[in-house]
Structure 1
Amino acid sequence: MTHPAAAIELRDVEIRFETTTLQFDCTIATGGIVAVAGASGSGKSTLFHLVAGLEDPDRGEVRILGRNVTTLAPSERPVSMIFQENNLFAHLDVATNVGLGISPALRLTPADREKIAHALSRVGLEGFEQRLPPTLSGGERQRVALARALVRHRPVLLLDEPFAALDPGMRAGMRALLGELHAEEGNTILMITHHPEDVKALADRVLFLDRGRIIAHDTLDRFLERRDNAAIDRFLGNE
C-alpha cells in the first residue's frame, strides 16, 4: 500500500548498462528538499532520469504521488527538471523561454503572459521579458530556468547541479531564492550537488549514492554526523 505522504517511490528499480547495473529502492516524503549526493558516476543523474521519465527501468516501479508512472512519458509526469546548463533557447527572449513551461507550442493567453511576468518578478527578473539569454549572466539564466519551472506548478522539482556554474556569491543568492520559493510552493525538491555547503544550507534530508546504490537516506543532522563510510567522509571532508 502506498503511503499518502510519499512524493516519490522507487520500488526495486534496476537499470542495466553495458558494464554496470544500478539499483534504487527508496521512498521520499512530500514537501521537503532532498540533496542527492555522491561521487561522479555514482548514479545521481540516472536516478533523476528515471524519476523524470528520460530513462526506463529494466525492472521495478517508479511511483509519484501514489501513481505508477513507470510507463508514462516525461510530459505526462508531475515533474519539472532544471539542468545544470539550464536549457534555454538562445534565440528566444526570456518571456518566451518561460512561456514554454506553460505551452510548448507557445499558445499563450494574456493570463499566461501575466503568469510569466509574475514568475520573473518572483525570481528577481522583473523587466527582463525581452532580453535574450546570451545577454544574461549565468545566475540570471538559472533564474529564468527557475521561473519556467515555477509557471508549470509541478509538485516535484528536480534540480541537476543548478548552481554549478555560479560563483560563491551567486550560489548563496540562488540558494536563498530557492529556499524562499520552496517555502511558498510547498513542492518536493530533489537537488543533485557536489557541494556540502549546498546540502547544509538547503536540505532536510540527504540521499547519498555510491556505485549505483543508495547507501544513505538520512535526515540532514544524521548525515552530517556519519563517520561510517569512506565515500561520505570524502564528500564531507572528514578525512
Structure 2
Amino acid sequence: MSPPETDIAVRLSGVHLQFGKTRLRFDCAIGKGQIVAITGASGSGKSTLLNVIAGFETPDAGKVEILGDDVGGRDPAERPVSVIFQEHNLFAHLDVATNIGLGIDPALKLGVKEKAKIASALLRVGLDGFGKRLPPTLSGGERQRVALARALVRRKPILLLDEPFAALDPGLRAGMANLLLDLHRQEGHTILIVTHHPDDVRLLADSVLFLDGGHTLLHEPTAQFLDHSDISAVARFLGR
C-alpha cells in the first residue's frame, strides 16, 4: 500500500529512461521519514533511480515529485535532497571543516554561526577536533563521516546514499549504520540507501524497493521482503 498523499516524500510516476538497449521504468511512492533500501542485481537501475531523484539524470518520460512538488527541470542544487556517494566526493586539498562548509555555502562565506554548525556536525558524527585534518589523512570510515556531516549541515529533508559503506570492512559498516540510525532518529530525514548487502536491509530499512531488469519488482515492508522465498531474484539476493 502507498502512504497517504500528504505523507509522501518522493513519488516517481511512469518514469522511463533508455540506456542503450535497456529501458528503465520506475514507479514508486516513498513515505516521509522512512528509511528505504534500494536493492537488486547489478545493472538493475539502483544508482540511476537515485540520480533521477537528485536531478543528475533526466528521464525521457514521467514525473518526479518531491514533497508534493514536480521537480522536473530543477537543477540538483534546487532540489531538497543531499547525496552521499560511495567515493564521498571530498576535496583532498581542503581541510575537513572547509569540505563540510561547502554544504552550507559553495562560496565558503562562513561566519561565526556557520562555523558553529560545522563544529556541531563534526561532534555529532564523532569527529570532534578533526576540522583541520585533510581527507587523505583520514580512514575510509572517517571520510564517510565527513560526508555525512556535510549532508547534515545542508539541512535537506531527503538524504540519498549510494553504496555509502561499500568500501568499509564489516566492523566499520556496522558502526556507520548505527550512526546513520542515530542521526535519523534525531533528524527524521527520509533516507533512500542503495545497497547490495542483506545485513544493511535488516539493520536499517523500514521498507525495501527491489529492482529487477530495470523496473520496480517489489516495494514492501522489510519483514515481508525478508520472508520471500518464492521469487528467485529476491532469494538470490538473500543468499537462499
- TM bin (shorter chain): over 0.9
Which residue among 147, 167, 186 is the counterpart of 1:184? 186
Shift, 1:234, TM fit: 0.5
Supply the AA of the counterpart residue of 2:112.
Answer: P
Aligned residue in 2 for 1:218: 220
Which residue among 123, 129, 132 is the counterpart of 2:131? 129
Paired with 2:100 and 2:230, the residues of 1 have a C-alpha distance of 44
Shift, 1:228, TM fit: 2.0
Q: Which 4+ residue blocks in structure 1 deviate beyond 4 angstroms? A: none
Instruction: Classify the secondary structure of the residue corresponding to 1:15.
Output: strand
**C-alpha deviations, 1:156-215, integer Å up to 9, x for none?**
000000100111110111011000000000010000000000100010000000110010
Paired with 2:230 and 2:26, the residues of 1 have a C-alpha distance of 21
Aligned residue in 2 for 1:57: 59
Paired with 1:42 and 1:98, the residues of 2 have a C-alpha distance of 32
Supply the AA of the counterpart residue of 1:72.
Answer: R
Aligned residue in 2 for 1:160: 162
Aligned residue in 2 for 1:89: 91
Which residue among 106, 109, 112 is the counterpart of 1:110? 112
Does 2:181 align with 1:174? no
Supply the AA of the counterpart residue of 1:49.
Answer: N
**C-alpha deviations, 1:17-53, integer Å up to 9, x for none?**
2211100011110001000001110000110000000
How many residues are treated as equivalent by the alignment?
237
Instruction: Classify the secondary structure of the residue corresponding to 1:62.
Output: strand
**C-alpha deviations, 1:124-152, integer Å up to 9, x for none?**
00000000000000000000000000000
Q: Which runs of 5+ in 1 are unaligned?
A: none
Aligned residue in 1 for 2:32: 30
Aligned residue in 2 for 1:11: 13
Supply the AA of the counterpart residue of 2:104.
Answer: I
Paired with 1:155 and 1:25, the residues of 2 have a C-alpha distance of 21
Q: Which runs of 5+ in 2 are unaligned?
A: none
Paired with 1:228 and 1:72, the residues of 2 have a C-alpha distance of 40
Paired with 1:5 and 1:68, the residues of 2 have a C-alpha distance of 16
Aligned residue in 2 for 1:199: 201
TM-score normalised according to structure 2 size: 0.98
TM-score normalised according to structure 1 size: 0.98
Paired with 2:230 and 2:60, the residues of 1 have a C-alpha distance of 31
Instruction: Classify the secondary structure of the residue corresponding to 1:4.
Output: helix
Q: Could you tell me the percent identity over the aligned residues? A: 62
Instruction: Classify the secondary structure of the residue corresponding to 2:5.
Output: coil
Paired with 2:11 and 2:195, the residues of 1 have a C-alpha distance of 21
Supply the AA of the counterpart residue of 1:198.
Answer: D
* RMSD (Å) for aligned C-alpha atoms: 0.7
Paired with 2:170 and 2:189, the residues of 1 have a C-alpha distance of 26
**C-alpha deviations, 1:55-99, integer Å up to 9, x for none?**
001000000000000110000000000000000000000000000
Paired with 1:161 and 1:43, the residues of 2 have a C-alpha distance of 13
Which residue among 209, 219, 238 is the counterpart of 1:236? 238
Paired with 1:132 and 1:164, the residues of 2 have a C-alpha distance of 22
